[in-house]
Structure 1
Amino acid sequence: MSEPVTAGPAGWITLPDLSEKLGVSISKVHQMIREGSLLAVRRDGIRLVPAELVANETVLKHLPGILTLLHDAGYNDEEALRWLYEPDETLGGNAALGLGGDRAREVKRRAQAAGF
């Protein structure tokens, strides 16, 4: 089992709160996690989603593609979380923060390279 990420999100959202924020059922949130469109990890027995990965009433546009690339490269959810939150000032602080802006293409390129 992987160690939990040390540097991480500034905040977390529970699945019921995320369901409400996105305006979808809790089962839809679980489906998004199963399909790899959304990242959730357990902390103290509760599944949580990094708050930065959800903008307004939607998941960040490029997140599902990035998660697919990382999972295809063999990353589990904890490792994907660690990769997204690894400090990197060239991406505005880390890859997760880079997803929300003009650095998204570079984040995707780096995720593609992670498999090699």
Structure 2
Amino acid sequence: MTTPQQPQQSLDQLLEGEALLTFPEVAEMLGVPVTKVHDIVGSGKLVVYRHNGTKTIPALLLNDGELSKFVGGAITVLADGGFEPDEILTFLFTPDESLPGRPIDALHGHGAREVIRRAQAMAF
């Protein structure tokens, strides 16, 4: 017997209520110029979410105001596997009962290696 799958939430729904930071806000948190934030996004350590026509970065992609090596690693693995930024954010913010919670939350805790392993399996 199969169980009905829950309907896939849109990225907008997944990020509803999440803190979204503008590039200047990220730059201030990291203590770098805004151009450096553009470089970080370009190098694949962070991904952008377009919200109301503005490029934003979900605050949970940062770890206490710093770049997280685990978040950056998961983003890099998925991007190298052909995932687009919206697909990466969808993966990171979609609840997963087997973790439990969301991959983004696990990346900030003891589940980081498991999330990276799953990202590798999905990407290739």
Q: TM (normalized to structure 2)?
A: 0.84
CA distance in 2, matches of 1:114, 1:77: 15
Q: How many pairs align?
A: 114
How much is the aligned-residue C-alpha RMSD, in angstroms? Answer: 1.6
CA distance in 2, matches of 1:41, 1:60: 18
1:77 aligns with 2:77: no
Deviation beyond 4 Å, 4+ runs, structure 1: none
Identity of aligned residues (%): 37
Q: Which has the higher contact order (CA 8 A, sep 6+)?
A: 1
Secondary structure (helix, strand or coil) at the match of 2:57 reads strand
Tell me, yes or no, if the aligned pair for 1:23 and 1:57 is still in contact at 8 Å. no
Worse-superposed segment, 3-12 or 64-73: 3-12
Greater Cα radius of gyration, structure 1 or 2: 2
Gaps of 5+ in 1: none
CA distance in 1, matches of 2:119, 2:13: 20
Tell me, yes or no, if the aligned pair for 1:98 and 1:107 is still in contact at 8 Å. yes
Counterpart residue identity of residue 73, structure 2: G
Gaps of 5+ in 2: 1-9
Identify the match of residue 6 of structure 1 among 7, 13, 17: 13
1:16 aligns with 2:24: yes
Q: TM (normalized to structure 1)?
A: 0.90
1:113 aligns with 2:121: yes
